Amino acid sequence: MAPTPVNHQVRLAKRPEGAATREHWQFTTEPVGEPADGGVLVKTLSLSLDPAMRGWLNDAKSYIAPVEIGAVMRAGGIGRVIASKNPDFAVGDTVYGTLGVQEYMLVPKEEIKRSGLAKIDLRAGIIHQWLNVLGMPGMTGYFGLMDVGQPKAGETVVISGAAGAVGQTVGQLARIKGCRVVGIAGGQAKCDWVVKELGFDACIDYKAGAAAVRDGLKAHCPKGVDIYFDNVGGEILDAVLARLARKARVIICGAISQYNNANSMPAAGPRNYLSLLVNRARMEGIVVFDYADRFPIAVAELAGYLKDGRMKSKEDVVVGLDTFPEALNRLFSGENFGKLVLQVAEA
């Protein structure tokens, strides 16, 4: 008789004040159960590590409930069905869902919809691309740009976090739609990559000095910024607001520069917000879950761009569940280069 497999998990031990370190996590094990009628058992292959995960640790009102103390850390991921009592899922199916930071996910019938469990087609893209351009980052970038930004050919689009998961999709999509694209990223290597590999028109290295962003925007956006896709908040948001064009659109996707503030409190709002008034501009937030019913439309379009070479997908892969605490913090130190993925098991 084969031994019962063991599920290794990462649970929230206590809420962090500032950066989440290893002491804030508990590593646990438990036996892997069998699915009940209508349920499935999924083996985790790879997990998506995203800046939003830090916000989920705060006991504060948000667009989604915080992770509870003692609960398995929330994370979207790709897995393979290894046992099924649900006619919609067969053993061997590759699926996406909120699997959590663990090796196995037992999904009862009543939780399948809530967990977003869905089969994916690996002909459209490899597993890591399904966590990047074809996954939540890609969906965020697509609907943020297309629905909120409403780009028009010839407009200037600026993207912070340009080399990250969302930023790389937004920039390439904006170029495909005929826009001029200026990225903001940390370090010359990332700037070179988004220009030379992804086709951005220019990229500003915010690490190049105190005035780098201000001067770069002046040089590369002489007529102002029509669309700003903000992933970082803080001083960079203020600098872009000062360069808005008439009727500009500012898309608030995230504020990665603020997530590890002491006491988990965000900094004060943008100082240059009156630029919205002067330029008759608007600022609007994007939460990707609002567009879930339209994901297939975006996936089909983006998969086409991947296939014909108009879009590229770069992932930064870290291996091993035990590396989770340090891997997550790579997002906030700027160490990751591309979409950060935690590989839990071989595909």
pLDDT tens per residue, range 217-269: 999 999 999 999 999 998 999 999 999 999 999 999 987 666 555 554 555 57
Residue 335 sits in a domain whose CATH number is 3.90.180.10
Q: How far is the C-alpha of 23 from the C-alpha of 105, rounded, in Å?
A: 24
Kind and range of the H or E run holding 297: helix 295-308
Taking only the tens place, the pLDDT of each residue in 93-152 is 999 999 999 999 999 999 999 999 999 999 999 999 999 999 999 999 999 999 999 999
Partner residues linked to 27 by β-bridges: 10
**36: containing domain:** 6-132+314-343
**What average pLDDT score do residues 335-340 get?**
87
Are residues 280 and 142 part of one domain?
yes
Residue 254 has a pLDDT of 84
Q: How confident is the model at residue 338 (pLDDT cuts 50, 70, 90)?
A: confident
Residue 196 sits in a domain whose CATH number is 3.40.50.720
Are residues 154 and 127 part of one domain?
no
Q: How far is the C-alpha of 323 from the C-alpha of 314, rounded, in Å?
A: 20
**Please, what is the Cα angle at 74 between 55 and 104, to 5 degrees?**
165
Q: Comparing C-alpha atoms, which of 264, 268, 330 is closest to residue 57?
A: 264
Tokens of 234: 């803080």
Give the total number of structural domains in the chain: 2
Tokens of 307: 């296939």
Residue with tokens 């960079």, as numbered in its chain: 236
In this structure, are residues 169 and 138 in contact, taking their beta carbons and an 8 Å threshold?
A: yes
Asked if the model's pLDDT at residue 318 lies above 80, the reply is yes
Residue 281 forms part of a structural domain: yes
Residue 300 forms part of a structural domain: no
Are residues 338 and 261 part of one domain?
no
Kind and range of the H or E run holding 158: strand 156-160
Are residues 72 and 43 part of one domain?
yes
Are residues 127 and 44 part of one domain?
yes
Query: Could you count the other beta carbons within 10 Å of the beta carbon of residue 226?
Result: 23
What pTM, to 2 d.p., does this model score?
0.88
Please say whether the dihedral angle defined by the alpha carbons of residues 239, 240, 245 and 247, taken in this order, is positive or negative: negative
132: which residues sit within 8 A by CB, 6+ positions away?
138, 165, 168, 169, 313, 314, 315, 338, 339, 341
Residue 92 forms part of a structural domain: yes
Residue 299 forms part of a structural domain: no
Are residues 150 and 178 part of one domain?
yes
**What average pLDDT score do residues 277-291 get?**
95
Taking only the tens place, the pLDDT of each residue in 27-86 is 999 999 999 999 999 999 999 999 889 989 988 888 889 999 999 999 999 999 999 999
